[in-house]
Amino acid sequence: MTDGTEPKLVKETLDKDLAKFGRAEAAVNATARSVVAPGLGFLFLAAIVVIGGTLLSGQDNWILITAAAAIGGYMALNIGANDVANNVGPAVGSKALTIIGALIIAAVCESAGALLAGGDVVSTISKGIISADAVPSADTFIWLMMAALISSALWVNLATVLNAPVSTTHSVVGGVMGSGIAAAGFGAVNWPTMGNIVASWVISPIMGGVIAAVMLAFIKTVIIYRDDKIAAARRWVPMLIALMAGAFGTYMSLKGLKHLDLFKDVDLPKALLIGLGVAIVAWLIAHPVIRRQSRHMENRNQSLRQLFVWPLIFSAALLSFAHGSNDVANAVGPLAAIVHTVNAGEVASKVQIPFWVMLIGASGISFGLVLFGPKLIRTVGQSITKLNPMRAYCVALAAAVTVIVASWLGLPVSSTHIAVGGVFGVGFFREWYTANSRRRLAYVHGRSPKHPESRSKGLTNQRNGRKLVRRIHFWQIAAAWIITVPASAALSAGIFLALERLFGVV
């Protein structure tokens, strides 16, 4: 050109148009991804309706049973989306497992726990919340359980949308209580049992948090802040692995395998003996393995983390198996109660769980986990506080030990509250330890723990220390825990009254 400038080969308007098309395409792709999971979930529920309607069409009240089965499937999807995150979240947050690996392990182990070791008998009045004698009729009981199932599923779904891990059992308990009050009045509720459940709101997370914090303090003292970390790890890591194996051996004997004939008569002393035997075997295996694995490791924390990866993977699998064997039965209990009452025409305190009901629960949990679970898994494993394999180990161990201690004391606890409480316990302990530990200050700054400059720096850190736990998640989750039972109860009561008016329940 005459002015010496280079001509533009592309028009600016074309660039803008292409950018707009690119943004539009990205928006369409994001929207498509957001509807895939709900669409597949809807297809799962549609399959239940089609298959159930085909197989049950010759029976009386087959429409009612099919509708209840679909609602039970919806409940199972929400359990997979919310409750299962507590078992694998710490392992994912510590990078011991990828999200894909966690989904596969949890889906397989949850289903195996439900189908192989799940309870074949379930209390139809969940946890003894209401008296069967207080229910006026079988029809009333059916709609009472239907309302409880719908309300608990809706509440868990809402909690998942809000990124709040909540207790499925508490949701079911609240649903049964609410519809029970609407159907038979406040006198039908077993209030001492409800008092124990309310106590578990506080007991479960505090116990899990304290145990996780104590274990992390122990690891920091005997391994992390030592001059020769590798030598300390060779001595203590096999013992820690044995402790975890023994705790899980006891835990599985008490909870995860209690429905199998071999473990039906196992009480706490027998379970502890089983756990001791498992611990000894685990130490004999772990000792040479850890020694060989640590032979060429550098003397730094990053090396230590590698030693906890496989124990974390096994703990995630065992926690998922135990959850499947216990909580799935609680979740599909109302569905089993509906099926029994429709077929038998009477209200029973305990009923058999048909295999197809347990199959809906197991498959629904797996689908819900794969389709919707990553959101809560990331929240538990990454968003609350930063985890590494050693911290995640403390959370997993706390989950098993807390159940054992609670069984010994006869206290009701929630696995969800224990696991999340353990994550909070680890985070809050790290905040305190970072600001106040003389041992850490001496190690980091190379001074004596009693050195006045170290102490002064510690006080400064305490005043200006970083927050290692995201408070917004703490208050959000705590609020969800507190309102789970009353919210699901109020929702269930409203649904029961609506069903009563719509169908003329007597």
Write out the DSSP string of 1-31. -TTSPPPPSS-HHHHHHHHHHHHHHHHHHHH
* pLDDT, position 219: 93
Phi–psi pair at 385, nearest 5 degrees:
-155, 165
Distances (CA, A) of 427 to 239, 380, 391, 413: 24, 12, 9, 21
For residues 97 and 118, is the Cβ–Cβ distance under 8 A? Answer: no
Task: Please count the other Cβ atoms lying within 10 Å of the Cβ belonging to residue 230.
Answer: 21
* pLDDT, position 463: 44
Q: How far apart are CA 503 and CA 500, in angstroms?
A: 6
Query: pTM for the whole thing?
Result: 0.82
Nearest to 424, CA basis, from 373, 481, 487, 463: 481
Task: Please count the other Cβ atoms lying within 10 Å of the Cβ belonging to residue 218.
Answer: 13
Query: What's the residue count for the chain?
Result: 506
* pLDDT, position 462: 46
Query: Which residues of the chain carry a pLDDT beneath 70?
Result: 1-34, 117-127, 256, 258-259, 261, 330-331, 410-412, 439-466, 504-506
Q: How far apart are CA 380 and CA 217, in angstroms?
A: 21
* pLDDT, position 402: 86
Displacement of CA 105 from its chain's centroid (Å): 14
* pLDDT, position 27: 54
pLDDT digits (tens, 9 = 90+) for 394-406: 999 998 888 888 7
User: 121 CB contacts (<8 Å, ≥6 apart)?
Assistant: 350, 351, 352, 353
Q: How far apart are CA 284 and CA 307, in angstroms?
A: 16
Q: Which amino acid is at 262?
A: L
Nearest to 440, CA basis, from 180, 226, 179, 280: 226
SS3 216: helix
* pLDDT, position 14: 54
